[in-house]
Structure 1
């Protein structure tokens, strides 16, 4: 029997900054973000990004944390004992074995977005694996208010993975394919992934193209997220974190509905939580709070 292709599988990645020597750093910190779908580890040297790993979350949080951390430091000569302070965050933050402290993903994404996009960001949308968060922040990346939707996977990364598998389209191509329509179809009406799958199957049988079905789903996702954002308030500058930020089909429709452009990312958007965690770790070292 031929092996079934895993269309949902997104590209894992790691990186090391060739311009930094960790041995010359005064403060080395780590942020480990164990999410429901993906896990990231970020290493910072004196507040500068030194190395990171972004990979699929495994069957348990402790192993996922170690896998991400070990991949991030691979080939650098860095060991866990060289890290001055580590902060864990995300869905599995209380089960990050090497962490000195756990900080909520909302606080970490806010601080990470401030680092990644700059101090002008006021509204952050974190589109995660199993939830979405609308966060208002100040110029230091401190949370002012937030709203969260975790009742259904339909507006999340996991929901998009389910759709990619259903339609046999690589998760990396879903967004671009959804934009290849002559006109926007009505959105998929269901707010539940299970029913949305059934609806999409029905649309395909009715003669809809794959691109048209994807467009309907991306539009539905964008509409749900806009509702969350508007309830919390949307103030420019606006930035998106999480894996769905890489989906042009959702982002383009979201920008149109908001009549506002999202800031262009310069760093992998899935790293925001881990970046924020590493920055919190640095602040804790500087304050001498190592417990």
Structure 2
């Protein structure tokens, strides 16, 4: 048996995925990255291989991508590293061939990618300098509201028609603003809706830079937050295509790249 592995080492989560020789998905694994990216990548790959009921000797090629992709190369876990832009494009195209725009919101960065009918990247914008509008931003804001990040989506849907505007772009200032708004008596649900809209505003700006081309896929852990998804849809004026498991798109793309490579 010949199989291929993609591993996406993110700042918050590490994802791995196994493809067979026909490019069918055999298994995937998601775990927290923690502070040791090498350890996270090693365990995720091991888990996905075990779930596929295969051996490491069956793996023909491993491609790493994501925030910590270089770690996998330095530790010889991967045979090659590829940018997350390329991998997300390939993964999204595999899942939704009709898609032309990809919105990916990860733990520490967010990006909007434009692709053609073959899945080739034609343009992209990426924010990796500031945590605003990322999974980390949402995590900090949910903590400020004393709400688990899993409950943020439901809380947003419970908001009234009046959104509370979060004016601060910086995560630190936005956190202080949220605490201040709560102290002034604003409802948690309305503040949560404002947080979602602030993420949507930032993403809409990126979409404007690359140009909106339908259909639009959203990937990354934040795609699991229905409130943020709705806010982005309202801002850009179109429905988003959400993968069944939005966190594995990059790992899928990396595995697809691996399937076209040969160890030398």
Matched with 2:148 is: 170
Are the aligned partners of 2:92 and 2:249 in contact in 1 as well (CA < 8 Å)?
yes
- 1:123 equivalent in structure 2: 101
Aligned 8 A contact 2:219 2:242 in 1: no
1:62-141 correspondence runs (5 A)? 62-96=38-72, 97-117=76-96, 119-141=97-119
Cα distance between partner residues in 2 of 1:149 and 1:258? 18
Post-superposition offset of 1:78 = 2.1
Give the 3-state SS of the residue equivalent to 1:155 in structure 2.
coil
What's the offset of the Cα at 1:165? 1.8
- Determine whether 1:39 maps to 2:39: no
Quote the residue 1:206 is aligned against. Answer: 184
Pair 283,172 (structure 1): closer, same or farther in 2 beyond 3 Å: same
Residue correspondences, number = 260
- SS of the aligned residue for 1:154 comes to coil
Q: Which residue of 1 aligns with 2:248?
A: 271
Aligned to 2:4: 29
The 3-state SS of whatever aligns with 2:263 is coil
Q: 1: CA distance between counterparts of 2:209 and 2:155? A: 30
RMSD over aligned Cα, in angstroms?
1.3
Give secondary structure in 1 for the equivalent of 2:254.
helix
| 1:283 aligned partner | 260
Post-superposition shift, 1:76? 4.3
The answer to whether the 8 Å contact 1:135/1:145 transfers is yes
CA distance in 1, matches of 2:51, 2:199: 40
How far residue 183 of structure 1 moved from its aligned partner, in angstroms, is: 0.8
Cα distance in 2 for partners of 1:79, 1:32 equals 16
Residue deviations 1:190-222, cap 9 Å, x none?
Answer: 001111111011111100111111111111110
Worse-superposed segment, 233-242 or 172-181? 172-181
1:147 Cα deviation after fit: 0.8
Q: Distance in 1 between matches of 2:122 and 2:222?
A: 23
Following superposition, the deviation at residue 75 of structure 1 comes to 5.0
Structure 2 unaligned runs (5+)?
Answer: none
- Which ranges of structure 1 fall in alignment gaps of 5 or more residues? 1-24
* Structure 1 CA distance for aligned equivalents of residues 131 and 51 of structure 2: 37
Q: What is the CA deviation profile of residues 50-82 of structure 1, one whole-angstrom value per residue up to 9, with x for unaligned ones?
A: 111011112122111012112222354423222
Q: TM-score, normalised by structure 2?
A: 0.95
Output the CA distance in 1 between the equivalents of 2:118 and 2:41.
27
Measured in 2, the distance between the counterparts of 1:246 and 1:141 equals 23
Matches within 5 A, 1:8-27: 25=1, 27=2
Between stretches 90-99 and 104-113, larger displacement belongs to 90-99
Q: What is the CA deviation profile of residues 229-262 of structure 1, one whole-angstrom value per residue up to 9, with x for unaligned ones? A: 1111110011011111111111101111111111
